[in-house]
Amino acid sequence: MQTAVYQLTIKNDATRRITTAWLTLALVSLVAAGIYSLLLVLARTPGLQKLLPLVEFFRVALVVHVNLSILIWMLSIAAVMWSLSSSRDLRRWDGFSFFLAMVGTAIVIVSPFAGAGHPLLNNYVPVLQHPIFYLGLGLFTAGISSHLLRSTITRQGIGLTLDGTGALRVGITLSAIITGVAIAAFLASFAGMPADVSGQVYFEFLFWGGGHVLQFTHTLLMLVAWIVLAHGSGCRFVLSPRLTVMFLIILALPVITVPFLYIAHDVVSSGHRLAFTELMKYGGLSCLPLGLAVFASIWTGKTPEGEGRYLRAALESSIVLFTVGGVLGFMISGLDIVIPAHYHGSTVGVTIAYMGLTYYLLPMLGFGPIPPRLALWQPYIYGGGQFMHIIGLAWTGGYGVQRKTAGTAEAVDRLGEVVGMGLMGLGGLISVIGGLLFLIVAYKSMRATR
């Protein structure tokens, strides 16, 4: 039986230009996030803490790192995917949206050095309480929202017959709809916030609902990337386009409960927090049917050759990290650092899928070939380092070490705690090397523009 062809396509030169612009912004945000990540790792590694005056900067660096590596990097890749599914050329609209996002990203990157401080380590979108940081975050949000609207209006239709590429476009369209629901959730939280709530509690509840919804956006796009990487690396992905679409819809279905959750619970209630936690915890299991199909395709496919080798490496690393992160999510029982171990695994699983997708797209966008050996080892180094990082966090979390702390505040003194945090630090440093290799691979390809 002949299997469907699951590949992404570039419609015209206008699509190529705006896709390249958003991909470049994603890479720039990852460069800056890597710099801040190195500061974070050094600030939490036993022995180095006392040699470097980084502990006081830890909280500020953590805020900027999270926004760059989670919010801006991932939404910029989402914008790349939305661009690929658009059917019309709207250059002025594209230019306006991208300009807003680009300026906003630049402001976020430099905000700590322009006086922004007073960090609040709330979940999903931590903030620096300063007008400069708010301006940067607002401009990026406006830019991505504008591009989302443009891409949704001009999305490509499925056509007379549903093929593999059409099924992928359905998944991309669903991700845009979910992102729209997330934005609506942020606005609903803002409108429903009591006037007497301020500080970290305010931002915690402001971003809680929409932040959980955004996880479905990235999980869905990760599955789209997995299918592309599986097909590109010679895996035998046997699902028909119709069945693939059905599984993509199943993945998106839990999001339909979001309006009812806002109706049932006040924004600042414990019920609101618990409802969205349960939505992510159990609703996220909706990715299992399609995820298992991709996983099975690895074992029944042929040995990869050429570019398929590094695409397969990215696919395998992404599956492992995302699975470990998901399992750790069911082991959370308090406020210790098992929580960051969980979301580092999950978000890094998504990040590696996006890295593999970048390798897939760069030659299509007119850039030079991907350096094969570097691209082959990069996902394993980055994924292996992150695996050590999250195991170290989870190990130390078993001793009750609290999250979002550094230096003496961690109270790490028992041997098991020191070993766990040492493993975390070593894994973090290895993952920084892996992240740097990704940027080197991308740079080599982009420098060799055809």
What pLDDT score does 440 carry? 96
Q: What is the pLDDT of residues 240-281, one digit of tens each?
A: 999 999 999 999 999 999 999 999 999 999 999 999 989 998
Q: Degrees (nearest 5) of the Cα angle 272, 199, 123?
A: 50
Q: For the chain, how many structural domains are there in total? A: 3
Same domain? For 340 and 430 the reply is yes
Same domain? For 55 and 147 the reply is yes
Most confident segment among 41-50, 111-120, 260-269, 389-398: 260-269
Question: For residue 301, which amino acid is it?
Answer: G
Tokens linked to 375: 């691209």
Domain membership flag for residue 164: no
Domain membership flag for residue 240: yes
Same domain? For 346 and 273 the reply is no
Same domain? For 231 and 348 the reply is no
Residue 48, phi then psi, degrees to nearest 5: -85, -20
Please determine, for residue 75, whether its predicted confidence score (pLDDT) is greater than 80: yes
Please determine, for residue 419, whether its predicted confidence score (pLDDT) is greater than 90: no
Domain membership flag for residue 163: no
194: how many CB neighbours lie within 10 A of its CB?
11
Same domain? For 35 and 124 the reply is yes
Domain membership flag for residue 128: yes
Cα distance between residue 444 and residue 450, in whole Å: 12
What pLDDT score does 410 carry? 46
What pLDDT score does 409 carry? 43
Please determine, for residue 60, whether its predicted confidence score (pLDDT) is greater than 60: yes
Same domain? For 375 and 260 the reply is no
Domain membership flag for residue 4: no
Q: Degrees (nearest 5) of the Cα angle 438, 318, 381?
A: 45
Q: Which of 156, 178, 199 is the C-terminal boundary of a domain?
A: 156
Same domain? For 14 and 151 the reply is yes
Please determine, for residue 6, whether its predicted confidence score (pLDDT) is greater than 50: yes
Please determine, for residue 411, whether its predicted confidence score (pLDDT) is greater than 60: no
Coil, helix or strand at residue 120: strand
Same domain? For 257 and 321 the reply is no
Higher-scoring residue by pLDDT: 341, 379: 379
Q: What is the pLDDT of residues 327-371, one digit of tens each?
A: 887 776 655 456 777 777 789 999 999 999 999 999 999 999 999
Residue whose C-alpha is closest to residue 209's, from 292, 107, 125, 88: 125
Please determine, for residue 42, whether its predicted confidence score (pLDDT) is greater than 70: no
- Give the mean pLDDT of 75-94: 91
Would the pTM of this model clear 0.95, i.e. be above it? no
pLDDT cut 70: percent of the chain above it: 86
Q: Which domain holds residue 145?
A: 10-156
Domain membership flag for residue 1: no
What pLDDT score does 301 carry? 80
Total count of residues recorded for the chain:
450
- Give the mean pLDDT of 399-412: 46
Same domain? For 292 and 307 the reply is no
Please determine, for residue 394, whether its predicted confidence score (pLDDT) is greater than 80: no
Quick check: 261 and 209 in contact, CB under 8 A? yes
Residue whose C-alpha is closest to residue 239's, from 301, 168, 292, 293: 293
Q: Residue 448 has what DSSP assignment? A: T
What pLDDT score does 268 carry? 95
- Give the mean pLDDT of 210-219: 96
Q: In the structure, what pLDDT confidence band is assigned to residue 46 with cuts at 50, 70 and 90?
A: low
Same domain? For 57 and 143 the reply is yes
Residue whose C-alpha is closest to residue 450's, from 346, 368, 338, 342: 368
Same domain? For 30 and 72 the reply is yes
Residue whose C-alpha is closest to residue 328's, from 344, 314, 316, 351: 344
Q: How far is CA 57 from CA 121, 228, 295, 406, 422, in A?
A: 13, 40, 41, 10, 20
Q: In the structure, what pLDDT confidence band is assigned to residue 418 with cuts at 50, 70 and 90?
A: low
Please determine, for residue 398, whether its predicted confidence score (pLDDT) is greater than 70: no
Cα distance between residue 184 and residue 236, in whole Å: 39
51: how many CB neighbours lie within 10 A of its CB?
9
Q: In the structure, what pLDDT confidence band is assigned to residue 402 with cuts at 50, 70 and 90?
A: very low
Cα distance between residue 388 and residue 433, in whole Å: 13
What pLDDT score does 30 carry? 92
Q: Which of 156, 181, 206 is the C-terminal boundary of a domain?
A: 156
What pLDDT score does 329 carry? 76
What pLDDT score does 41 carry? 65
Round the average pLDDT of the chain to a whole number and report it.
88
Domain membership flag for residue 161: no
Same domain? For 371 and 290 the reply is no
Q: Which of 255, 277, 297 is the C-terminal boundary of a domain?
A: 297
Domain membership flag for residue 261: yes
pLDDT cut 90: percent of the chain above it: 65
Q: What is the pLDDT of residues 273-323, one digit of tens each?
A: 999 989 998 999 999 999 999 999 998 888 898 899 999 999 999 999 999
